[in-house]
Each structure stands twice: as C-alpha cells, then as structure tokens.
Structure 1
Amino acid sequence: MAVQIENLGSLDRKITLEFARADLAKAREARLAKVGKTMKIAGFRPGKVPKNIVEKQHGMQVDYELQFDKAAELFYELSQKEGIALAGQPRLEPKSELGADKVVFEAFFEVLPEVKIGDISSAEVSKYTTEIGDAEIDRAIDVLRKQQVHYHPRGQAGAHGDGGANTAAQAGDQVVIDFVGKIDGVEFAGGKAENFEYVLGEGRMLPEFEAATLGLKAGESKSFPLSFPSDYHGKDVAGKTAEFTITVKSVNWAHMPVVDDAFALSLGITEGGVAKMRADVKENLDREVKRRITTLLKGEVMEKLNSICDLDAPKSLVASEQERLVEGARQDLTQRGVPNAKDVPIPAELFAEQALKRVRLGLILSELVKKQNLTATADQIKAEIDEQAATYEDPKEVVRWFYSNPSRLKDIENLVLEDNVIKYFTSLAKVTDKAVSFEELSKLN
C-alpha cells in the first residue's frame, strides 16, 4: 500500500490511501452470501435466491461499504503507527471508480494542536474572602422564617395578635380584591377578576395598582387610572390607559414564626434547638461561600489561561462542541415546557464563541494536567465525593450513588482536575485577596 501524507494548513492534513480491490474478494463474497440469506424475492424460498440476482441488486452497495470500511481501517492503522494525534473523525472521499482494480481514497482530518502555555507568573487574579457572622446568620434565618409566613385578618384577635390598630393595607400585607378595568368605557379581556390575591410590595402588580391599594381597608373601593407600558405582555392594552375600580375584600397581615426551639424543630433540628439551628445555618453559609469563591476564582483562572496560552483550535472539535451546546439549549427548552422544542430552529452560530472558548480551555487543561502531573488521585476523588455527600441526609447512600456510575465518577474526576489546575496556577500567579461582604459576594459574576 502506498501512503502519502500532506500538510494542508496549521492543523489540516490529508492522507492518500491505496489498496487492491482484490484484497476485498473474500469479504465481498461473505457479505453477499449473508445478504442472500435474508433476501425475499417472489418465486424463491428465503436463502435460495440465485447469486447473480443477489449480485445484481446488492453488489454495488457491498462494494461501496467494504471499500469505505477498508479505507477507515487502513487510516486508523496508519494513524496509530505514525502516532498521529487526531482531533476528530476523518472525512473519507473515494477517488477511484467503484469497480477499479486499484482503490484510492483521500482522508481529510485535523490533528491536535501544539499548546504553548504562557507565562503564568505574570498573570494576576483575585481571590475573594468573606466572613460569616451573626448578621449573615440572622438574615438567612429571616429567609427561612418568610418561607413559613402565614396571614391573619387585620383587626381580628387571634393567637398571634390582631396586627395592630391600623387595619388599612400596608406594605407586606396580603390583600384580596375584586377589580374591573375599562378602556374608553369598555371592559377588556383580562381586566376583571374576583377574589384576586397578592402581597403588597412583592412587585407582582404594576406600581399604580399597588399604590392605589395601599391604605384601603376591607370593604373600601377606589378608582384610578393605570397606564400600561408600551412593552406590556398584553398587546391589546400595551401603551394604553385604563380606568380601574378595585374593591378590597380582606386585608391580612403577615405573621412569621418566632425564632425558638419549636421553629428549629420545624426545620428538622431534633436536638440542640436554636443554637444547633444557627450552627447549621452557619455551616451552610460557609459551604456556599466556599463554593462561590471557588467558582469565581475558577472563572478568572480560566479567562487568564485562555488569554495567555497560544494554540489553534481544531475546527472539527469546535463544530462538535457547538452541536452539544445546541442540544443542551434544546433540552432546556423542553424542560421549560416550550411546545415543539425539538423542532425549534437554534442556529449553531449562536454558540460559536462559547464553543471555541470551551475547546481551547479543554486543550489547555489537558496539556497542563499532562505536563505538570495534575491527574486526579483516588484520594482526591473520594474527598470531593465525601464533601458533596455531607450535605445530604444519608451521606453513605450518596457516596454509593456516585461510585455506582462511571459517568458520575468521571464528572467528579474532571472537577478535581480543574481544582488541581487552579491550585497550580495560583501557586505561580500573583493572587490578590479581596475581602467582601456576603451580599457583595452573591452579586459578583
């Protein structure tokens, strides 16, 4: 077999493959015999179709398949022998007639690029630090309390009080109203409701609507103009002004549970009461802070690596990554209940930049892991799994869940690899510590 390898560009290559058609004679005879056993022709029993008929109907197709198979086999044998680092699947093109004695194929493919790691010591990154104190714990507990909020009619005495002497609707109150809206004196679709319930201050209603409701008591009514924004979702009323009349049916004040041992018990704290609850909340906040800081640092390190490293990204890998991103977007639409999500056109070009970045980073990380021996160890993988499992009620069961599936283990291994790269990068780069509050940390991108 004669072989020619041509350089078509920085990563593009071409190999010309040649082999004799006679080399496929035995395989061709066996393939046709196999086809003949399953052929169904009128007038012949199964498996008894004459060879000349099998040849006439399937000979060209068998030749085509066998020649492509042989070309692919020779290509991969050669790539392994020559140590070619393939970036993807080759594109095989026949260059000879199907019945030619000498079969010629051209294989077009890309090789993996040389990755030049830049000067990491010149890179600068920020590492955020955040302290969790009583104020942060109190705010987190308030969120938990709001999740158990319930409402009582203003002015009616009960186990939790009457809400105070002022029975008018206030910010944070739940109101139940009837309303009707008219444009030019005519009611419009969606502009009327009875026993409509919402909480003042949550932003569910337009500002004019909430402003008109504030200060009203149960049984009171009010009329007011409301201008719909030009970009309002209801196209029939967008940009128009309506006259609304509302009637308040009830005003209910919010009661949040008191922070005591009973509240702790409602959160599943069976022992230790409020002190244990606060300790658990702090532990969860500390875990969230660690995760957030790691995510921010990882993002910054990846950006720096992408900018200081030099390589050509294989077009085939970028195209494959675009396809994965398109499929991920389609699955997201499906999960969100978008009708006919599988048929929604999603141009791959939308993900070109993201795909290119992912491919570059994948190659950069692979090079660093290989050259700096940053491979994830079994102990590191176990430690990561144990840490993630600790957040669940039955950690042992979660650990078994991870170890029972190779793909889940692979995800953990990739996570550890990224952590190893970050540790290596920050050991060389200029790292600046930045102290921020928990709220500031939550808003950082």
Structure 2
Amino acid sequence: MAVQIENLGQLDRKVTLEFARADLAKAREARLVKLGKTMKMAGFRPGKVPKNLVEKQYGMQVDFELQFDKASELFYELAQIEKIALAGQPRLEPKSELEADTIVFDALFEVLPEVKIGDFSKAEVTKYLTEIADPEIDRAIDVLRKQQVHYHPRGEAGHHGDGGANMAAQAGDQVVIDFVGKIDGVEFAGGKAENFEYVLGEGRMLPEFEAATLGLKAGESKTFPLAFPADYHGKDVAGKTAEFTITVKSVNWPHLPAVDDVFALSMGVTEGGVAKMRAEVKENLDREVKRRITSLLKNEVMEKLNSLCELDVPKSLVASEQERLVESARQDLMQRGIPNAKDVPIPVEMFAEQATKRVRLGLILGDLVKQQNLAATADQIKAEIDEQAATYEDPKEVVRWFYSNPSRLKDIENLVLEDNVIKYFTSLAKVTDKAISFEELSKLN
C-alpha cells in the first residue's frame, strides 16, 4: 500500500492504494458460497446450483464489491496512521481491471482546513438593553383582551351597553355587508358576496374598501371605484379598476373584557388576581426580551466570526449541507400540505451561499471550541434544561423529556456551546450597550 499523499491544491488530496487480488480469494470464495445457498435457477433446487453457474452469475459483482471494500479499508487505515483530518468520505476510483493480479485504486479526498482565527479585540458588537415596565405590561394585556373580544350591534342596549350614540362604522367595528363589483359594467368572478363579515382596521380588505365602509350605518349603501394592484393575486382583475357597491347589513362594536380578577382567572391565574397576572406577564416579557437580545447578539457575533476568520471551505461538506437543506425544504413543503411535495424539483444551487456560510461557521466554531476549551459541560447543559423546563407546568417531566432523547440533548449542548463562544468573543471584543424600547427590540431581525 502506497503512503505518499499527493497535494492537488487547497484541500484536495490523492493517494494511490495497491493490493494483491489473491488477498481477496478467501473472502471471494465465502461470498460466492453464501450467494449460492439462496440462488434460484430453473432445473435446480434452491441452494443446489453448481459452483460454475454461481460464478458466472455473481463473479464480477463479488469482485467489484470486495475490491471497493478492501480499498476503503486500506484508505481508512492510512488516514488513521497518518492522522489525516478528513472533511468527508473519499471518492474511490479503480485504476486496474477486475481480473488484474494487482488491484490499484486512487482515493480522492478533502482534508479539513486550517482555520486562521482573527483578532477579536478589533471587533465591535452591540448588546441591546430593554427594561419591561408598566406600559409594556399594559400593551401585552391589551393583546390578551383582544383575543377574547366579542361584538354587539350598535344601538342595541345590552349587558355591556349599546356602544354609544354614534351608529356609524368605526375602526375596530365588525361589519357585515353585501357587495358587488363590476369592471366596464360587467360583474366578475369573486367580485360579489352576501353577508360578508370583517373587522375594520385589521387589513383584511384593500384600503379603498375599508375607507368606503367607514362611516356607513346599517342599511346604508355606497358605490366607489377600486383600483386593484398590478401584483394582486387575482390575475383576472390585477391592474384594473372596478366599481363596487356595498350595502351595510350590520355594524357591531367590540367589547373587551375588563381587566379584573375574572379576566385573570380566564388567563389561568387561579390565585393572586390581577397583580399575579401582571407579574406573570412581566416574567414572560422579560424572558422574551432575554431570548431576543441573546439571538441578536449571537447573530452579530457569528457574522463577525465569519468575517474575521480565514479558511478554505471543503466542497464535500458544502455539498452535503446543500443536500440537507434541500431535504429540510422538502419536509417543510410536505408539512404545509403542498401537493406532490415529494416530487417538487428543488435545485441545490439555491442553497449554495447558505450552505457555504453554515459550513464555514461550523468549522470556525469547532476550531475555536477546541483551542479555547469552550465545550459545553454537564452542569451547563443541566442548567439550561432546568431554565427551559421552569416555564412549563410540570418541569420534572420536561427535564425527563430532554434527557430521554440524545437528539434533544445534543440540541441543548449546541445551544450552550454557542453561548460559551459568545461569552468568549464578547470578553475580547468592544461591546457597546444600547438601550431600546421593547417595541424597537421586537422590530429588529
């Protein structure tokens, strides 16, 4: 077996492997005997086919398989002896005939690159700071109230009142209408409906449609022009102007539940009433703030790592990552119920940039973790699991759920490892604290 490794440039390498065909004779005989025991052929009982016929049927196949297996075995022995940092599996190319006395293979492979870690002290990153106060809690509770909204006809007195003296449709009202649309005096498909219901201000309808409805009372009608956008989903009307006539059947005002102990109970707060509910809302918002700030910092650190470190990226790893991303995209299509998702053509080229970036970061992180001893410890993994489990009703069951599955445990380990890298990076880089509101934080990607 040759041990000289040829450098083909950057990360590509080649080694030539040689072995005697006679060395495979014993394994070849055993493989043919095994195949002969199950081989079926007209005129012979199963397992009784003559040896020469078994040879004729399977000889070349067995030679091919055994020679590739032997070449693979020799290659991995060499890789271990020479301590080759393989980036992926080798491509084995036979260079001799199946019947040759000396079998020759070329093994083409890539090695992992040297990662040149940059000077992190020159990097600048931003760490956002957000405090949750009463206004943020009030807005969150308003969202919860709107989830329990119900509607009453304007002007009809009831347990919750009559909605005030103004009977006209207002922002936030639910309206029920009939409408018909015409283009050049002719009705078009999808342009007519009866008892159509929507809420003004939710953006479900085109702006012109909502503007025309505002201010109308039950029983009133209005005709108005509506220009469909050029990119409107209905291709038959896209870019055209229609004339719509709407008739309001009913106008219903929204009633939101009062913020009291009854409302708190409906939110699952069995003790402590409104005060306890507000405390839980704050706790949830604080958790969301922490998650978003960590995510933003992580993304920025990863971008800096990518730009500060130099390395050649193995083509084989990129190709594997592209295939993984294609499969992930296909699974997503299937989960969304897309017809024939299994057969939808998804070109791997569309994931080239994303795959390359992921592979680069993976190699950088791996090298950094090894150099600086940043691997996740058992105590760190346990602390992260305990923190996530604390948000559930039965934390012990959640902890058991994590530890019962190696894949879930690996996800937590990777999460902690990334946190370790972020802490190390920010300990060297220039970190600027920036205070922003919760609303501003929510808009950042």
Q: What is the alpha-carbon distance in structure 2 between the residues aligned to residue 124 and residue 217 of structure 1?
A: 58
The SS at the match of 1:13 is strand
Aligned to 2:336: 336
Q: Is contact 1:4–1:17 with CA below 8 Å preserved after alignment?
A: no
Aligned to 2:62: 62
Aligned to 2:106: 106
The SS at the match of 1:8 is strand
Aligned to 1:406: 406
Q: Is contact 1:168–1:214 with CA below 8 Å preserved after alignment?
A: yes
Aligned to 1:297: 297
Aligned to 2:266: 266
The SS at the match of 1:164 is coil
Deviation at 1:372, TM superposition (A): 0.7
Aligned to 1:132: 132
Deviation at 1:121, TM superposition (A): 1.1
Aligned to 2:116: 116
Q: What is the alpha-carbon distance in structure 1 between the residues aligned to residue 4 and residue 365 of structure 2?
A: 33
Question: 2:342 is aligned with what amino acid?
Answer: K
Q: What is the alpha-carbon distance in structure 2 between the residues aligned to residue 116 and residue 441 of structure 1?
A: 34
Which residues in structure 2 correspond to 1:247-266 (within 5 Å)?
A: 247-266=247-266
Farther-moved stretch of structure 1 (352-361 vs 339-348): 339-348
Which residues in structure 2 correspond to 1:139-288 (within 5 Å)?
A: 139-288=139-288
Paired positions, count: 445
Q: Is contact 2:2–2:15 with CA below 8 Å preserved after alignment?
A: no
Q: What is the alpha-carbon distance in structure 1 between the residues aligned to residue 74 and residue 257 of structure 2?
A: 74
Deviation at 1:190, TM superposition (A): 0.5
Q: What is the alpha-carbon distance in structure 1 between the residues aligned to residue 406 and residue 213 of structure 2?
A: 58
The SS at the match of 2:4 is strand
Q: What is the alpha-carbon distance in structure 1 between the residues aligned to residue 181 and residue 131 of structure 2?
A: 51
Aligned to 1:380: 380
Q: What is the alpha-carbon distance in structure 2 between the residues aligned to residue 236 and residue 76 of structure 1?
A: 63
Deviation at 1:2, TM superposition (A): 3.1
Deviation at 1:180, TM superposition (A): 1.1
Deviation at 1:4, TM superposition (A): 2.8
Q: What is the alpha-carbon distance in structure 2 between the residues aligned to residue 203 and residue 444 of structure 1?
A: 22
Query: Which consecutive aligned stretches of 4+ in structure 1 deviate over 4 angstroms post-superposition?
Result: none
Farther-moved stretch of structure 1 (61-70 vs 2-11): 2-11
- CA displacement, residues 95-142 of structure 1 (integer Å, 9 cap, x when unaligned): 000100000000000011111111111111111100110011001111
Q: What is the alpha-carbon distance in structure 2 between the residues aligned to residue 226 and residue 13 of structure 1?
A: 66
Name structure 2 gaps, 5 residues minimum. Answer: none
- CA displacement, residues 353-412 of structure 1 (integer Å, 9 cap, x when unaligned): 111111111111111111111111111001100111111111111111000000100000
Farther-moved stretch of structure 1 (92-101 vs 341-350): 341-350
- CA displacement, residues 214-258 of structure 1 (integer Å, 9 cap, x when unaligned): 111111112222111111111111111212111111110011110
- CA displacement, residues 17-68 of structure 1 (integer Å, 9 cap, x when unaligned): 0000000001000100111111110000000000000000110000000000
Question: 2:164 is aligned with what amino acid?
Answer: G
Name structure 1 gaps, 5 residues minimum. Answer: none
Aligned to 1:13: 13
**Percent of residue pairs identical:** 88
Aligned to 2:437: 437
The SS at the match of 2:9 is coil
Deviation at 1:422, TM superposition (A): 0.5
Deviation at 1:319, TM superposition (A): 0.9
Deviation at 1:3, TM superposition (A): 3.1
The SS at the match of 1:166 is coil
Aligned to 1:80: 80
